[in-house]
Amino acid sequence: MKKSRENTVVKISILSIIANLVLVGFKAFVGFMANSIAIISDAVNNLTDALSSIITIIGTKLAGKAPDKNHPYGHGRVEYMTSLIVSAIVLYAGFTALVESIKKIINPETPDYSVTTLIVLIAGIIIKYILGMYVKKVGKKINSDSLVASGTDAFNDAILSISVFISAIIYMIFHINLEAYVGILVSLFIIKTGIDLIKKSVNNILGVRVESSLSKKIKKEVEKDEDVQGAFDLVLNDYGPDKYLGSIHIEIPDTLTVAEVDKISRRIAKKILEKYGVILHTIGVYSVNTKDKTIAEIQKDIRKIVFSHQGILEMHGFYLDDSDKTISFDIIIDFAVPDREKLCRHIYDEIQEKYQDYTVHITLDVDAND
């Protein structure tokens, strides 16, 4: 499956390279012949697309290397590094095109559009539109962010080429020269694309919130287990596209033996790996009180206290140990709360004051997933 995905990315990228280089050749030739900075900028944009595809291939190949002693979880994150390089190239191309367009406004030159110019532009629009739709479709199918981004970029290029085409028509009919201004429009769009790509690449390197649908599916699947009463604290570490290693906490009855808990954790890990390709290397346990019904009333009361405060998203892992007089649980506070630790201390003081016979332990968890 991994090799198949890699081969697909490489094949689609090669197709993109060929298409973009053909367009670069035609657009550059026509752009210089017509003295059109807008068409030349469009050609530069296609050249950066081809270069991006080359780097995507290199990144995909490096990311596919087997794990080694220094990189036990593989090299998948290389794709994010190459994506950052592509983003920088796109941004540079955008600024270069912007400078040339501004020069054309300061020192205007008369373009010389022809029927050949229009034919090349129309062909470019059609090719980029079809290429964009196809690459984006394949990217979504194999869950490749790089291909989805390339497809979206190609589709946007088609829209930009339409603007260049319209400016050429306006000049040929009304003799109004807008091509330098269209060149600025194209360059600003390229710059915006580069900035967006940089943001996404940096976010992937830093680590971002797990996709909501995936985290919800995993927790829901874990909770289907007959012995699990709740699933919390799911943490997924991204080691490249489609490669997650993570951990989760489950609530289970305090009557189970270690052997039974081991059996449950292995069962859950196997199920999640088979269904979602996610490796849960750690499954922590929250013990649930089942031997004393009065504890349920205490838990209900403490829950009421906790949720009486604004910004509380979740409370879990509650356990009251009568043998050493401790009450333990976790809470998750919204990042929107200015001082989450202060609120946590306030809740602690409130509960400790009411249950002075117990030592209260509250863990402030991170709102890491939905």
| pLDDT, tens only, 10-58 | 898 899 899 989 988 988 888 888 777 767 877 887 887 888 788 878 8
Please, what is the angle between helix 2-33 and helix 145-174, to 10°? 20
Q: Looking at residue 293, which CATH number applies to its domain? A: 3.30.70.1350
The mean per-residue pLDDT over the stretch 284-306 comes to: 91
**Mean pLDDT of the residues in the chain:** 85
Residues 177 and 301 in one domain: no
The mean per-residue pLDDT over the stretch 120-142 comes to: 87
Question: pLDDT per residue over 199-238, tens digit each?
Answer: 888 887 887 777 778 888 999 999 999 999 999 989 888 8
Work out how many domains the chain is built from and give that number.
2
- The answer to whether 319 touches 288, Cβ cutoff 8 Å, is yes
More confidently predicted of 333 and 183: 333
Residues 194 and 236 in one domain: no
In angstroms, the CA 255 to CA 290 distance is 8
Evaluate whether residue 290 is within a structural domain: yes
The mean per-residue pLDDT over the stretch 274-278 comes to: 89
Residues 192 and 242 in one domain: no
pLDDT at position 181 is 83
Instruction: Report residue 328: phi and psi, to 5°.
Output: -130, 140
For 244, counting Cβ atoms within 10 Å of its Cβ (0-12 exposed, 13-18 middle, 19+ buried), the class is buried
Evaluate whether residue 346 is within a structural domain: yes
Residues 178 and 260 in one domain: no
Helices (H) and strands (E) in the chain, counts: 10, 6
Evaluate whether residue 370 is within a structural domain: no
pTM equals: 0.65
Cα angle 150, 85, 145; round to 5: 35
More confidently predicted of 18 and 180: 18
In angstroms, the CA 127 to CA 153 distance is 13
Residues 281 and 346 in one domain: yes
More confidently predicted of 305 and 110: 305
Question: pLDDT per residue over 158-174, tens digit each?
Answer: 777 787 788 888 888 88
Evaluate whether residue 299 is within a structural domain: yes
Q: Is residue 70 very low, low, confident or very high in pLDDT (cuts 50, 70, 90)? A: confident
Evaluate whether residue 35 is within a structural domain: yes
- The answer to whether 146 touches 57, Cβ cutoff 8 Å, is no
Residues 155 and 260 in one domain: no
- The runs of H, that is alpha helices, within 34-114 are 37-63, 78-106
3, pLDDT greater than 70: no
- The overall longest dimension of the chain from CA atoms, in Å, is 91
Residues 193 and 271 in one domain: no
Q: Name beta bridge partners: 251.
A: 230, 286
Residues 201 and 259 in one domain: no
Question: pLDDT per residue over 90-103, tens digit each?
Answer: 788 778 878 877 88
**Residue 206, CB-side half-sphere exposure with 13 Å CA sphere:** 8
Evaluate whether residue 162 is within a structural domain: yes
| % residues pLDDT > 90 (the chain) | 34
Q: Is residue 241 very low, low, confident or very high in pLDDT (cuts 50, 70, 90)? A: low
Residues 122 and 10 in one domain: yes
pLDDT at position 242 is 66
Residues 237 and 302 in one domain: yes
Q: How far is CA 359 from CA 195, 288, 329, in A?
A: 51, 18, 12
Q: Looking at residue 69, which CATH number applies to its domain? A: 1.20.1510.10
Please state which of the ranges 193-207, 217-231, 287-301, 328-342 shows the lowest mean pLDDT: 193-207
Residues 171 and 221 in one domain: no
- The structure tokens listed for 43 are 């050609």
Evaluate whether residue 179 is within a structural domain: yes
Evaluate whether residue 13 is within a structural domain: yes
Give the range of the structural domain holding residue 245, as residue numbers without chain letter. Answer: 212-365
- Of 185, 206, 227, the last residue of a domain is 206
| Residue labelled with tokens 């330098």 | 180
- Of 157, 175, 206, the last residue of a domain is 206
More confidently predicted of 365 and 208: 365
pLDDT at position 314 is 92
pLDDT at position 1 is 52
Residues 181 and 257 in one domain: no
In angstroms, the CA 7 to CA 289 distance is 52
- Of 175, 206, 237, the last residue of a domain is 206
